[in-house]
Amino acid sequence: MQILPGTITGRPVRVGSVGLGRLGVLHAENIAMRIPGAILSALCDLDRTRLEHTAAALGAERTFTDFAEMAAWDGIDAVCIVSPSALHTKHIRIAMEHGKHVFCEKPLGVTLEQCKDAEQVVGAHPELIFMLGFMRRYDPSYIYAKQKLDAGEIGRVVLLRSYSQDPDHQIKGALAFAPHSGGQFLDMAVHDIDLARWFIGREPEKVWAIGGCYAHPEFAQHGDGDNVSCLMKFEDDAMCFLLAGRTSPHGYNVETEIMGTKGTLRIASVPQKNLVEILDEHGVRKECSQTFHERFGEAFLGEMREFISCIRQGRRPEVSVSDGTRVLEIATQCKASFETGELVCCK
Amino acid sequence: MQILPGTITGRPVRVGSVGLGRLGVLHAENIAMRIPGAILSALCDLDRTRLEHTAAALGAERTFTDFAEMAAWDGIDAVCIVSPSALHTKHIRIAMEHGKHVFCEKPLGVTLEQCKDAEQVVGAHPELIFMLGFMRRYDPSYIYAKQKLDAGEIGRVVLLRSYSQDPDHQIKGALAFAPHSGGQFLDMAVHDIDLARWFIGREPEKVWAIGGCYAHPEFAQHGDGDNVSCLMKFEDDAMCFLLAGRTSPHGYNVETEIMGTKGTLRIASVPQKNLVEILDEHGVRKECSQTFHERFGEAFLGEMREFISCIRQGRRPEVSVSDGTRVLEIATQCKASFETGELVCCK
Amino acid sequence: MQILPGTITGRPVRVGSVGLGRLGVLHAENIAMRIPGAILSALCDLDRTRLEHTAAALGAERTFTDFAEMAAWDGIDAVCIVSPSALHTKHIRIAMEHGKHVFCEKPLGVTLEQCKDAEQVVGAHPELIFMLGFMRRYDPSYIYAKQKLDAGEIGRVVLLRSYSQDPDHQIKGALAFAPHSGGQFLDMAVHDIDLARWFIGREPEKVWAIGGCYAHPEFAQHGDGDNVSCLMKFEDDAMCFLLAGRTSPHGYNVETEIMGTKGTLRIASVPQKNLVEILDEHGVRKECSQTFHERFGEAFLGEMREFISCIRQGRRPEVSVSDGTRVLEIATQCKASFETGELVCCK
Amino acid sequence: MQILPGTITGRPVRVGSVGLGRLGVLHAENIAMRIPGAILSALCDLDRTRLEHTAAALGAERTFTDFAEMAAWDGIDAVCIVSPSALHTKHIRIAMEHGKHVFCEKPLGVTLEQCKDAEQVVGAHPELIFMLGFMRRYDPSYIYAKQKLDAGEIGRVVLLRSYSQDPDHQIKGALAFAPHSGGQFLDMAVHDIDLARWFIGREPEKVWAIGGCYAHPEFAQHGDGDNVSCLMKFEDDAMCFLLAGRTSPHGYNVETEIMGTKGTLRIASVPQKNLVEILDEHGVRKECSQTFHERFGEAFLGEMREFISCIRQGRRPEVSVSDGTRVLEIATQCKASFETGELVCCK
């Protein structure tokens, strides 16, 4: 990790956050209440009622309905971007041109052009911290698995398998969002693609993607399925199988298996809600996490803590802007394979 | 293990079995169909219909309604006693005095006098094999645990904890049997007492037993509870906690934990029916065994195979007649503690 | 299931078995000792020492070094074929032309021509039972999962994922066998292909296969990998991901996941040796099965019991000869995809 | 829960904390960094170096080596007492007489007289919040179990079983602390006694305690064992089996089972470190938590958050001072039974 010169400071980092959807509120709460050394100074959203209400509850000093105005305010050092995906790169450029550090939710952008634009502006501002929200890398279990892999405990990676499944009881929201989501590969599988590159440490070469509408034909209208999967061949032969689905009956299921020549690691193959085991007429069972914040609450906190810490210590976070570009490229190739039914090259 | 001289033989062992309750039929089936070297030659029961039907189905050559007649028949080499508990020792004596090897279901007897009588007759016939049906010792998982313990892998035994729980859906049968069962300690906990002595390798010194009628007040009429437990102090300080219950909602639950100074072994802490895991609206779950034959089918087969093998090879089985006596004594002391509320000495 | 007329009989089925490798001995033992109604009457193998030794131990009446002679002997009703794969169909033809029922180990044959030949001879002998050894269908856990699927409990199949992994400690044998095995798809994945067709109830349309030599470069000499996988698109969109590997560090790992729209079933995702859980310096753990007979002992017994039962009751077993042909076709298509790196049509 | 009048305030609660052992530092960090609405204003310890170092790191305004001086300072609203157990009640009295809210680590005191004194001073200051550190009640898994119990989902409590086991690798610290710890029942089992009263909702009537020195004879010098257990009979017949041990090979093991007539709940029967499952030469395993802060980090944070929240909202916490007295009484009775070998009445 490269250390930036001269930027360690004892002053709290003042953050302005844009976007107050479910995830935006979670980020705002974390900044306001759970990260020593961070202050939630400003909030920005188009919905004035929600904006004022949230700002009051979290003690934000200023509110904005225009992102550029917030970015221009000298009362903040950094911005947290949780706006609609299509606006991410625009907001990144505005913020950085106003000298603000940037945390941006995934995806980096919705087109390759947007990603390239973000790379350009981030590259032009080496004095500023940029971090992309691949929060799984900050989950304690994923961190633990990565350490074991890096320590050579499982040998060479043979296969990475990763599932991202939303619970079926959230299907209404998923259907409503479907026209704008970019599809399961761009909306969901990007996290798994990031994990695959992180764990395998190489790039995919070829992909074949399939899937269908097994329970919800509505997705077909958007050229999508309710469950999709792909098989990828990575450089040096590592295999990768990813699945993204919207119909999980048991809950929010994000699981990853890393099979190596000396051992296999499975992360969350039982997506247990907590440490309670129940023995009753249904057998011996564990109830499951139902939402992303239930499963990844600690990871969302961890990534924001890392962002603030990077700013204060002048360190670069592990995820670079080009990781964001690369993941979008690969997800787009998956989508192309799904749509054409053909093998697609990832290079 | 002591080898008896000169008794290895290639001739199949011909067995007569008495008692055609659920467990009696299971033993008869095993002898008739699943043990090479054994033949089910005779059956004995008071219920003529069941007797003839079973004999026909299993190919038994002769049927008897009088045990002494079967024991006297020279068409059998051995008897399998699955008659009512109060008759066990009487049948043991008759069989041995007719020169037959004896397999007897637990308990050995229902009084100490009976047990002493059995010891006498077994002792008087060193040329005959006697085996008591503590089948758990022949369950692959219990065998595996015992081997690890004996190999020193878990160090010195600190605690043995064992539960015997019948499913609540069998409560009608349990209530009907309650007047004659001898109570939970004599009827159920004897298996756990046998396990405790087997694993710990020493004798209990003191016991305190408690319990109650938590769901089924009917047991109180027999001075019993629907769930009872006891804590025992063994020689050399090993601790032992046993529970016997009739109200298990999830199934037939027999689990044992052996905590040692270097490791802990748990046998069947999840009483899973098979290797299927289900993920659905109830969470991630395993369905459970519902009956003793579902859980211990292989153990019942294993003990009978051992009985036949001991006869053919002239070996003595591991369980001795005095084990049967000792277990009854201890169960009786547990019961006395339960009834008086006081500590009871086990010596 | 179709009932054949007039063939129910009380006479035991006399079987002659060919091939005394590890699996051949297991089948012979099951026939000789564990299946009421079956008699092991004859054995055939080229290794005279092993042949005589095994026949004596299992009580087989006759031995043969020539399969045709055994097939011609009127002392048997049925043959069990565990000869080298390349000889299977030849042995099937000889046996059936001598009027013998046939149980044949997988694979049916090693070329499509062989399979077609077998189909022809089986079709020409409707009076004889033919059964192929896809033993997993007779494993209690797979049977249980199939019943749940058929009862609609997991809804429509979205994904079937199945792994067949041999332990790395058996790599020497695998390498020695590699020149003749046909490769991982034909040798190992055929079981998973059979399961996929059985559970999904439809045919694959397209496949893409990848893999590599992650630990054992020797497999490359045979155009194979030590771990390979494939993604298949089935009719009606069901997805199927299979993996076959030779480097499992924890043991013999055969696991299957069937993800449905209403529930997911996982069979043996922890390939536990038994019900013992160990708590020690390595954490909380279960030791694993190490060999196919440890994991599938009951399934091998179950399939042979079904074969005998079909003969005695005049029933046809569930697996047909054309299943064998179809599975070989698909495995061959997987192999072709692996070798060319291209998508392959399965029709 | 009773609401105190007029004490809700927007002003942060300023806390002074005494005692900077491992747990004292954890509490101080939580107050300083992880609880919105709380400020760590002062620290008190006899070790000046540690005191100044910690105060600087956590931004505490003042430091004290005399508790009474800190309690008298009007820069704090509340104290957090993590001093040696024998000083707890003295510190409680001093703090309350200076008008400070009090959070006190367990145990309340080391003698009944001390506890009575604490009850007196707490009773004399109804305007102040008093909370005792039974942190397990604030662990998410225990909270979840309690909600299920209270909702009637497991019926009537039959048995509560609870283990508190420290890892053997911490035995040096445990031995050093042994002369002053009060023994396993007072030092460790108090948490389990609190859980038992909380879950069962009644009082114990009788107890029998046993145990021994299985690996570390040094404990015998203090009239203690390295592993001890007790069986308790509660009012209305609920059974309770507790174990406290110092020799756990696999890690920090705190597990609780609540067996009811309609279901059983197990909390942390596998004390897993995280959601990673490892498949390697040791089998399929989960690594375990090794320390109390690894297992209960969230619970320690939760209880302090509740303490601060009670002060700000004028609510009384669930745990009362008399709970502390009652738990000490019961632990003392367990100890008496262990020492005498006799049954002891708990009333």
Reported confidence tier of residue C4, pLDDT bands at 50, 70, 90: very low
Question: Is the pLDDT assigned to residue C3 strictly greater than 50?
Answer: no
Q: Is the pLDDT of residue C225 over 80?
A: yes
Taking CB atoms and an 8 Å limit, are C285 and D282 in contact across chains?
A: yes
Instruction: Examine the pLDDT at D30 and tell me if it is beyond 80.
Output: yes
Digit-coded pLDDT (tens) for C29-58:
999 999 988 999 999 999 999 999 999 999
Nearest CA in chain A to C225: A237
- Chain A hits for B272, CB-CB cut-off 8 Å, are 283-284
Distance from CA of C265 to the nearest CA of B (A): 5
Residue of chain B whose alpha carbon sits nearest to that of D206: B341
Confidence band of B112 (pLDDT split at 50, 70, 90): very high
Chain B CB within 8 Å of residue C247 CB: no
Closest CA to C33 of C15, C11, C50, C8: C15
Helix, strand or coil, per DSSP, at residue B215: coil
Contacts of A277 in chain D (CB under 8 A): 265-267, 269
| DSSP-derived pairing of the beta strands C62-64 and C38-44 | parallel
Confidence of residue D171 (pLDDT cuts 50, 70, 90): very high
Which of A166, A171, A200, A208 is best to mutate for the C interface (most C CBs within 10 A)?
A208
pLDDT at D8 over 90: no
Distance CA D67, CA B25 (A): 76
What's chain B's average pLDDT?
95
Å between B237 CA and nearest CA of chain D: 6
Nearest CA-CA partner of B140 in B300, B316, B320, B319? B300
pLDDT at residue B128, as a whole number: 98
Residue C168 contacts D, CB cutoff 8 Å: no
Model confidence over A171-214: pLDDT tens digits?
Answer: 999 999 999 889 999 999 999 999 999 999 999 999 999 999 99
| Residues in B touching C266 (Cβ below 8 Å) | 276-279
C-alpha gyration radius of chain A = 20
ipTM score: 0.95
Q: Tell me the two tokens of residue B253.
A: 């639950």
pLDDT in the model for residue D70: 98
List the single range of A65-69, B150-154, C244-248, D2-6 with lowest mean pLDDT: D2-6
Residues of B in contact with C262 (CB under 8 A): 280
Band (pLDDT 50/70/90 cuts) for residue D108 is very high
Both tokens assigned to B268: 């069947």
Nearest CB among B270, B281, B287 relative to A249 is that of B281
Q: Cβ contact (<8 Å) for C276 and B267? A: yes
Structure tokens belonging to residue A36: 């020593």
- Token digits of residue B227: 């769930």
Q: How far is B281 from chain A (nearest CA, A)?
A: 5
> Does B278 touch chain C if contact means CB atoms closer than 8 Å?
yes
CB contact under 8 A, D249 and C280: yes
pLDDT digits (tens, 9 = 90+) for D82-97: 999 999 999 999 999 9
Q: Does A291 touch chain D (CB under 8 A)?
A: no
Lowest mean pLDDT among A270-279, B2-11, C10-19, C312-321: B2-11
Interface touch D253/C279, C-beta < 8 Å: yes
Helix, strand, coil percent content, chain A, rounded in steps of 5:
45, 25, 30
Distances (CA, A) of D10 to A53, B99, D247: 17, 91, 47
- Residues sharing a CB contact under 8 Å with residue B146, sequence separation 6 or more, in sequence order: B137, B198, B199
Give tens-digit pLDDT for C301-313.
Answer: 999 999 999 999 9
Give the span between the Cα atoms of D157 and D149, in whole angstroms: 9
Identify the pLDDT of residue D11: 84
> B2 pLDDT band (50/70/90 cuts)?
very low
Mutate which: D243, D285, D288, vs C, most C CBs within 10 A:
D285
Q: What percent of chain D has pLDDT over 90?
A: 95
For residues C162 and C137, the answer to whether their CB atoms sit within 8 Å is no
Hey, which chains touch B, using 3+ CB pairs under 8 Å? Answer: A, C, D
Q: Which pLDDT does position D50 carry in this prediction?
A: 97
Of B206, B212, B343, the CB nearest to D237: B212
Q: Give yes or no for a contact between B170 and B187, defined as CB atoms under 8 angstroms apart.
A: no
Q: What is the average pLDDT across B324-340? A: 97
- Assign residue B236 a region: left if phi > 0, alpha if psi is -120 to 50, beta otherwise? left
- Lowest-pLDDT range of A114-128, A268-282, B8-22, D192-206: B8-22
pLDDT for the residue C11: 84
Q: Which residue spans within B82-167 are E strands per DSSP?
A: 101-105, 130-133, 157-167
Please judge whether D261 and B247 are an interchain contact, meaning their C-beta atoms are less than 8 angstroms apart.
Answer: yes
Which chain B residues are Cβ-neighbours of C32 within 8 angstroms? 36
Which parts of chain A have pLDDT scores under 70?
1-10
- Measure the CA–CA gap between A162 and A267, rounded to whole angstroms: 9
Does B180 have pLDDT greater than 90?
Answer: no
- Assess whether pLDDT exceeds 60 at residue D118: yes
For chain A, positions 129-158, list CB contacts with chain D under 8 A.
140-141, 144-145, 148, 153-154
